[in-house]
């Protein structure tokens, strides 16, 4: 029996795009709630970044010392999560092109689907629930679980194996829209599939030579994942 592929997905810009300001507002709210500071993500290159690193950049720009950041970050994250869970509207109309069809076909063909995202855990799951996509995924590695995206990919692979997946690395793919996704896949020696549905200029993605560079998930084929039959 052929072992199905393991496919890891980023969220923002890959599955969902232009989902509204609520995520960024939640990070700013968390800081304001805990420290009473007015901050913003403006000017911070957030694409591909982990939420804790975005918060750290916001706090450093506000003049907060590293020791204070470490001490307050857990409370800030909790406040940000509570805010996001309260205000995030339905975003099923904000899906990237081809997402429902691709996830449905992958699921029907037995692929194991996981998440690798910089979102805080509860924000990431809630975002997918509000987008109507959570049921496709059984596990994920999130921004509050590791210090960088490459480490998140490693965590996700380990979780898949704990769940009984026994495939080789040639049957693992990371799908994302940012340079960080390509680099994280390379660090873990797995296949990288980049999609042009985020804000990264296509030339920047092409310069990193992912295994596949697709206009959108509408162009994903199972043969790209080490299997066959997605076109059936």
Whole-number pLDDT of residue 192: 98
Closest-CA residue to 47 (of 14, 69, 90, 25): 14
**Same fold flag, 6-17+94-225 and 22-87:** no
pTM of this prediction? 0.95
The tokens describing 56, both together, are 């750290």
Q: Which residue has the tokens 């339905």?
A: 90
Domain segments of the chain: what residues? Answer: 6-17+94-225, 22-87
Whole-number pLDDT of residue 227: 52
| Residue 165: count of CB within 10 angstroms of its CB | 17
Q: Which residue has the tokens 């998930």?
A: 217
pLDDT (tens, 9 = 90+) of the chain, 232 residues, equals 578 999 999 999 999 998 789 999 999 999 999 999 999 999 999 988 999 999 999 999 999 999 999 999 999 999 999 999 999 999 999 999 999 999 999 999 999 999 999 999 999 999 999 999 999 999 999 999 999 999 999 999 999 999 999 999 889 999 999 999 999 999 999 999 999 999 999 999 999 999 999 999 999 999 999 754 444 4
As its CATH architecture, domain 6-17+94-225 has 3-Layer(aba) Sandwich (3.40)
State whether the Cα torsion 184-110-18-89 is positive or negative.
negative
Whole-number pLDDT of residue 1: 53
Whole-number pLDDT of residue 7: 98
Report the helix count and the strand count for the chain, using DSSP H and E.
8, 6
The tokens describing 54, both together, are 């975005």
Whole-number pLDDT of residue 231: 42
Q: What's the CA gap between 32 and 64, in Å, rounded?
A: 13
Q: Where are the alpha helices (DSSP H) in 46-193?
A: 51-61, 66-87, 99-108, 121-131, 149-162, 179-187
Whole-number pLDDT of residue 97: 97
* Fold designation for 22-87: DNA polymerase; domain 1 (1.10.150)
């Amino acid at each position: 029996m052929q072992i199905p592929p393991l496919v890891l997905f980023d969220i923002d810009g890959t599955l969902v795009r232009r989902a509204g300001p609520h995520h960024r507002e939640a990070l700013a709210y968390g800081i304001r709630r805990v420290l009473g500071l007015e901050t913003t993500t403006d000017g911070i290159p957030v694409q591909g970044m982990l939420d804790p690193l975005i918060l750290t950049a916001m706090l450093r720009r506000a003049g907060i010392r590293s020791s204070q950041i470490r001490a307050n970050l857990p409370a800030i994250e909790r406040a940000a999560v509570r805010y996001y869970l309260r205000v995030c509207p339905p975003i099923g109309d904000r899906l990237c092109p081809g997402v429902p069809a691709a996830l449905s076909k992958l699921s029907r063909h037995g692929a194991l689907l996981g998440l690798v995202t910089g979102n805080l855990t509860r924000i990431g799951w809630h975002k997918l629930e509000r987008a109507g996509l959570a049921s496709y995924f059984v596990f994920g590695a999130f921004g509050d679980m590791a210090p960088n995206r490459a480490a998140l990919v490693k965590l996700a692979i380990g979780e898949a194996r704990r769940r009984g997946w026994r495939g080789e690395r040639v049957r693992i793919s990371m799908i994302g829209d940012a340079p960080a996704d390509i680099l994280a896949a390379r660090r873990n020696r797995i296949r990288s599939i980049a999609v042009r549905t985020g804000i990264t200029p296509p030339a920047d993605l092409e310069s990193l030579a992912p295994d596949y560079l697709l206009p959108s998930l509408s162009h994903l084929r199972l043969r790209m994942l080490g299997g066959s039959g997605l076109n059936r």
